[in-house]
Amino acid sequence: MNNLRGVYTIWYRDILRFWRDRIRLIGAFFFPLLFLFVFGSGLSSRMALFGSGINFVQFMFPGIIGMTVLMSSFMAGVSVVWDREFGFLKEVLVAPISRASVAGGKTLGAATVALIQGTVILLFAPLVGISLSPQMVLVLLPLMFLLAAAMGSFGILLATRIRTVEAFQAVMQMLTFPMVFLSGVFFSLQDVPTWMSVLAKINPATYGIATIRQVVLEAPPDSPFGINLLGHTMSLWNNVALLAVFGTAMTLLAMRSLGSQE
């Protein structure tokens, strides 16, 4: 019971911190919308249709949702470093709860905040000419949460081994931007150079972006938006399974790493 209460308390603290930080709230939505409406609109006239009347902005829209979820959840690791610097993490680690509960609460908090941000971006679908049914939204929410939990646990794992906020921010920028650009957010991964295709396929975010795009654009696995891995066309459930395996591994490693903290 103490462990469950500990998970809830840590989760609630992260949600409360996000809700009370108005500047963070505004910034969380400004950056992805800037990409969508400025970058997307600026290039849409120069990009060919992707088939079935899908223009560049519509192609980018599910990628922007995934990018928002990815960057928000990964950034949550900075709170672990911040808490360590100010001594709060030490107080949490000596509390009568397991350290696995601390990692679990942090991961759930990161995933929930990222899910909220991704859900708000979904509201802009009509502005880009995309119609989302309630059934599609019900499918998208767990897919977004899975991507957020996987990337959030990865960020927390890294944060347990980094001692300063400045170092974590540098590592975050070094990892998140390549992960975003190599996940198919801004372009189709079909017909890209071999080296880029290999990097994209070892990038876990690629499979999260692909699932969101398949649902939003109602695209079959063999569409230009699909992923071909070792000669196999990945279905939506293949992508989900692979991302779930990655997320589970990162969560277990984060729990183990946090458990070894002094």
Query: Greater confidence, 166 or 29?
Result: 166
User: Which distant-in-sequence residues (6+ apart) come within 8 Å of 211 by Cβ?
Assistant: 143, 147, 236, 239, 240, 243
Q: In angstroms, rounded to a whole number, what is the distance separating the alpha carbons of residues 77 and 80? A: 5
Q: Binning pLDDT at 50, 70 and 90, where does residue 197 land?
A: confident
111/174 Cα distance (integer angstroms): 21
What is the chain's mean pLDDT, rounded? Answer: 82
Q: Say yes or no to pLDDT of 210 above 60.
A: yes
For residue 51, the model assigns a pLDDT of 55
Q: Are the CB atoms for 72 and 117 separated by under 8 Å?
A: yes
Higher pLDDT, 167 or 2: 167
pLDDT tens digit sequence for 10-26: 888 888 888 777 776 67
Average confidence (pLDDT) over 169-189: 85
**Could you tell me how far CA 130 lies from the centroid of its own chain?**
21
d(CA 93, CA 203): 32
Is the Cβ–Cβ distance between 221 and 236 less than 8 Å?
yes
The rounded percent of the chain whose pLDDT value lies above 90 is 17
Q: What is the pLDDT of residues 98-150, one digit of tens each?
A: 777 888 888 898 899 999 989 988 888 888 888 888 899 999 999 999 999 99
Report which secondary-structure segment, H or E, holds 146: helix 134-159
pLDDT band at 230 (very low <50, low <70, confident <90, very high): confident
Q: How confident is the model at residue 261 (pLDDT cuts 50, 70, 90)?
A: low
Note the pLDDT of residue 242. 92
pTM, two decimal places: 0.87
Give dist(CA 28, CA 48) in Å, integer: 30
